Chains A and B, each alone.
Chain A
Amino acid sequence: MKSAEDLNRVMEAYADMVRRICFVHLKNRHDTEDVFQNVYMKYLLHEGSFESGEHEKAWFARVTINACTDWQRALLRRRWVPLEFIAEEGAAVDGTSGEILEAVLKLPEKYRNVIYLHYYEGYSALEIAGILGKKENTVYTWLSRAKGILREKLGGEWI
């Protein structure tokens, strides 16, 4: 079991990323809190060690994505209402950003992951393939399709 110091450190380092991945996947604040806690609980119970900070970060990204997917499977019957969530974020999201986020949240789940990991975290297709456990080519395909959808909705200047 990890020490309290470890927990504080990874909380500072990855809380925002975990929160954002949750935001990309989940419907509301309550779900986010639950998944957020689950992710850190998994870290607390994680027995292995990490080779590097990068390795650790990628672990958090993967575990968060999986936790979100699991969570949604459990809540499959609920309707997906991204706007509610954006509204919950309130002041944090203004006009243009709101549009971008709304478009991203309407993407199929697999596209949301690659868009976030690539455009926000700056991971390469190869790295994303590692995190998601997919082939690099699959990631390329998803990325280009997601970009296509966003371009259609937001125009060329979305990025």
Chain B
Amino acid sequence: MNAFQKSMEGIRASEELKENTLRYLEAQRKRSHGRRYVLQYALAAACLFVLLAAGGYSVYIRPVSYISIDINPSIEMGINRFGRVVSATAYNADGEEILEQVSLKNISYVQAIDRLLEDGNEFLAEDSLLVFTVISDQADTILAELSADESLKTYEMLTYTSDRTCMEEAHAHEMSFGKYRAYLELVEYDESVTVEDCHGMTMRELQNRIESCGNHGESGSGEKHRERHQERHHGSGN
């Protein structure tokens, strides 16, 4: 051992220093472990929340049913599985004007229809014909609710069901599927009628054409149009 080594020999880490250090490190380890777990749980919870929220939101915003409301204003509402309106699209100028004034989203479709009739009544005449056309797996439930709606009872109203193929064709003609269904019915009787003609007609006018053709046309052709379910509800006044 050289003199320098000898002189340094007395310099040692005391037990106290070692113990203090070990205690300090143990505390640091626990803290960082604790922090890491907290961070992991927080991250996992955040991910789960985002997934659930995104999943829930995507379910919420996906329409499963559609109601086409045609009077003269033509409006289609998309309805999610909770019965809430998640989209509202206008298919003519009157419809656009109403949608600018009235918000229909995130309320039940019955509320939405009530609101439409209340706030959009400037577009309704005494003799207006309200036509509701429904595309849904639960069309019967929706139709039953519409029939039971008190605020609809003062109007003359017709209800129909349709399907998605019909809706796609209608949209290709920039028409609501409710009005397009009526066009298809009319064209059965009068082949000279075009979609463009129907664009400018109110549902009352369309219905009158159908009825007048039906009365004068050949019998038995009434139900030929694409196995479309047809049901008539006239308002209580009639």
| Mutual binders A and B | yes
- Bound together, the chains give a CA A113 to CA B12 distance in angstroms of 17
Question: Quick check: B13 and A93 within 8 Å, CB to CB?
Answer: no
B172 within 8 A of A: no
Question: Quick check: B25 and A89 within 8 Å, CB to CB?
Answer: no
Chain A neighbourhood of B21, CB < 8 A: 11, 33, 36-37, 40
Chain A neighbourhood of B6, CB < 8 A: 97
Return B19 CB to nearest CB of chain A, in Å: 9
Contact with B along A59-97 (1 / 0, CB 8 A): 000000000000000000000000000000101110011
For window 23-78 of chain B, which residues contact chain A by CB distance below 8 Å? 24-26, 28-29, 32-33
Question: Quick check: A100 and B10 within 8 Å, CB to CB?
Answer: no
- Chain A: residues with Cβ within 8 Å of the partner, total of 35
Q: A16-B13, A19-B12, A44-B29 are in contact. Are A11 and B7 (CB under 8 A)?
A: no
B2 within 8 A of A: yes
Q: Which of A18, A44, A93, A119 contacts B5 (CB 8 A)?
A: A119
Chain B neighbourhood of A100, CB < 8 A: 3-4, 7
Question: Quick check: B2 and A11 within 8 Å, CB to CB?
Answer: no
Give A18's nearest chain B residue, CB to CB: B13
A58 within 8 A of B: no
Give B5's nearest chain A residue, CB to CB: A120
Question: Quick check: B10 and A120 within 8 Å, CB to CB?
Answer: no
B22 within 8 A of A: yes
Contact with A along B165-185 (1 / 0, CB 8 A): 000000000000000000000
- Bound together, the chains give a CA A8 to CA B18 distance in angstroms of 9
- Bound together, the chains give a CA A32 to CA B21 distance in angstroms of 11
B17 within 8 A of A: yes
Question: Quick check: A92 and B11 within 8 Å, CB to CB?
Answer: yes
- Bound together, the chains give a CA A98 to CA B7 distance in angstroms of 7
**Chain B interface residues toward A at CB < 8 A:** 2-8, 10-13, 17-18, 20-22, 24-26, 28-29, 32-33
Starting from the known contacts A100-B4, A119-B4, 17 additional A-B residue pairs (CB-CB under 8 Å) come to A11-B22, A15-B17, A16-B11, A16-B13, A19-B12, A20-B12, A32-B17, A36-B21, A37-B24, A37-B25, A44-B29, A92-B11, A104-B4, A157-B3, A158-B4, A159-B2, A159-B4
